[in-house]
Structure formats: structure tokens, C-alpha cells
Structure 1
Amino acid sequence: MSRLTVFLVAITGLAIATAGILYVTLPAEDADYPQRSSGAALIGGPFELVQHDGNTVTNETFNGELMLIYFGFTFCPDVCPTELQIMSNALDLVGDDAEQVRPILISIDPERDTVEAMAQYVSHFHPRMTGLTGTVEQVAAAARAYRVYYERVEDPGSNAAYTMDHSSIVYLMDKEGQFITHFGPGTKPEKMAETIRSALSNG
């Protein structure tokens, strides 16, 4: 086998391996989630947290509304505000029917995200945006229910001292808190709005 042939075979193998790694590690927006015996996705469940107005709420507080849920934190420099703005823009496109949708930010950084901090932060987005925080245990339970990854990462070189590494997914839940679908990072507001309208029309 010539050196050129060996080289081409090696390059081809590397390309295939790289493609395989990317396929496994990059989540698709239509990726399948684990299923319950009923066929419904194992996403969502009971939670008890504190709303940005200081009131304790549960998942049942929002029954009767679609929930648009994002897990993030107020010190997030770019990804979180970008996704929350996409959610806000999508609800603007939905128009008056947005009154039937509850956009929610659930903090993954309860140490810094106090009720006051959440109230100030969510005021920059859609008027219906609701901030939820709680104890470390309450936040962890909510994150487990939604299969959300998050981890504290020390950052001694910054004023914040640490940041949070986390998955970036927006979940759309129906009026009974059941999973409908999810949106990956950078979803167009128009697409999100279209999906919300469809969910509303289906009850």
C-alpha cells in the first residue's frame, strides 16, 4: 500500500470518527427523551420554589397555562439573556394569546439568585416572565425533574468568583404540566411562536 493510500485511509477514518463524536455530543432539537410507559417523555414533574415576588409556588400553581421553562442564572453573561429574549420575542409574536403562557426562569444558582435579584433580573424581559429560586435542594430537585445539567465552576480571575456551566434548553409544557417539546439554543422566535400557537390550538 502506497504512502498516499495510507494517508487517505487515515484521514477518512479521522473524519468518520469526528463526525461520530459530534453526532453523539451535540443534542438535536428533536432528540428523543426517555419515555414513560404511557409514551409521554420523562420530562417535568413536581417542584416547590419561591417566586420573584416572594410567594412559594409549585408546578400546580401554573396549571391552566402553558409553561415555557428555562434553567439559568442572573450572573449568566450571554446565553441566558439571549434565550430569555428569544422567549420574550416569541410571546410578543403570539400576541394576546400569550396571556395563556407562563415564561419561567428557574435559577440554578440559588446562592446568588435571591428573590430580590430574580425580581430585578426578570423585569428586563417579557412582562409575564416569572423568576423562581429556592434552596439548593429545591433547585436540584427541579433540575432533576427536567433532566437539566448544571455545575458550579470556580472562576477566581473574575469579580463573580465562580460561574455556572449548564445545559441551555427551553421546555414547553402543556396546561397540565406535561412535556410537549423543547427548543435548542438560538431557536428563531418565529418558530417558537408557531409551536406555542399550535399547542394553544390543541388545548
Structure 2
Amino acid sequence: MFDRVEVPLNTWIGTVPVVAVTACYFYALMHYVMTPAVLLLSRRHGGWHYWRGYWAIVLASALALAVYAAWPAAPPRLMPDLGIADVMRDFSAYGWWGSAASAPRGIGDATNQYAAMPSLHFGWSLWCAIQLWGLPSRAWRVVAVAYPSLQVLVVLATGNHFLLDVLGGAACVVLAYAVVGLLHRAATSRAGARVPVAAG
């Protein structure tokens, strides 16, 4: 299965250093930049759009953390028998990261190297896409499609996640939005039931 997606992408990117280094920076930076930026954009938009997104990312992240704690899973880069190279390590001379994925050199021990499933790198990018899609500008919809599309290619090509991890991250986000939506509808129904009906 891995030789159909993960291995070919990983093998190819290792042969194109400029793409590999760009992918490393994308992996190391974009989720830290895009996620708060989209949260701020959503806040400016306000209303239910913001609050739905706020609680969805909180719930999705909490669900992922629970999975990490209960079922630690190694990323492909820590499984050399699969034939997948650690691209971040191989090109670490071009950035601040060392052998612990995107963690700065010297503090790799402070990170959880066995938190591959689900992929919050992809999960958060999908969350960004959903929030951006709800904004009125067409330009944001282009970003909403491009960002998670690039993120899935990057996390697979750099050896940081399996395709199944990506699907797990997506599931966390979709489930979180569904739960938030259900709770909102339930609360709205209860509030509507308490409103007295005026006499005709």
C-alpha cells in the first residue's frame, strides 16, 4: 500500500532539493502561521461562523491529543524498513530543525515523536479550509482549496505521515464540526421552546 503513495512521493522529493527544502519549511511553519491567521479572520467575520470554528478546532485538537495519549503511533520517517527517508533530517542543514521533525535543534526531546495518527498538520489545514470557504471573498476559496492540498502532499512526501494519518486528521475535524453543529441546534431548539407564544 505504501509503495503506491508515500514511497514514490518521498523518493521523488529527495531527488529535488529545492522542492524538498521548500516542503520542509512549509511543514515546519505553515500550521503555526495559517491556523491563528484564519482564526483571526474568522473572528473579524464574527457570529456563528467564528464560534463554530473556534469550538471545532478546540474539540478536534482535544480528540487528537486523546488519541496520541492512548495509541502512540510512529511516523513513516521513523520506520526505515519501509524505504521512506526522513526528509526533514536529510535537509536539516537548510533550516532550524534537527532530527525531530520541525522541532528546533536541541529541544526535540520536548516533542512527542509518536503523535503521527491523526495528522493535525492536515487536520488544521482542513479546518482552515472550512473556515476560509465560509468567508465572502472568492480569493479565500482558492486558498481554501490550495492550502490543504499542498499540506497533504507535504506531510506524505517528507515522511511525516501516512495517508491513513491524513484521513484520521480529517475525521477529527469533520467529527468536531458535526458535534458542534448538533450541540448548537440542540441549544437553539431548547431556547426556542422556552420563548412564550404571544396570544392571538
Higher share of residues assigned helix: 2
The structure showing larger relative contact order (alpha-carbon pairs under 8 Å, at least 6 residues apart) is 2
Q: Is this a same-fold pair by TM over 0.5?
A: no
The alignment's TM-score, normalised by the length of structure 2, stands at 0.27
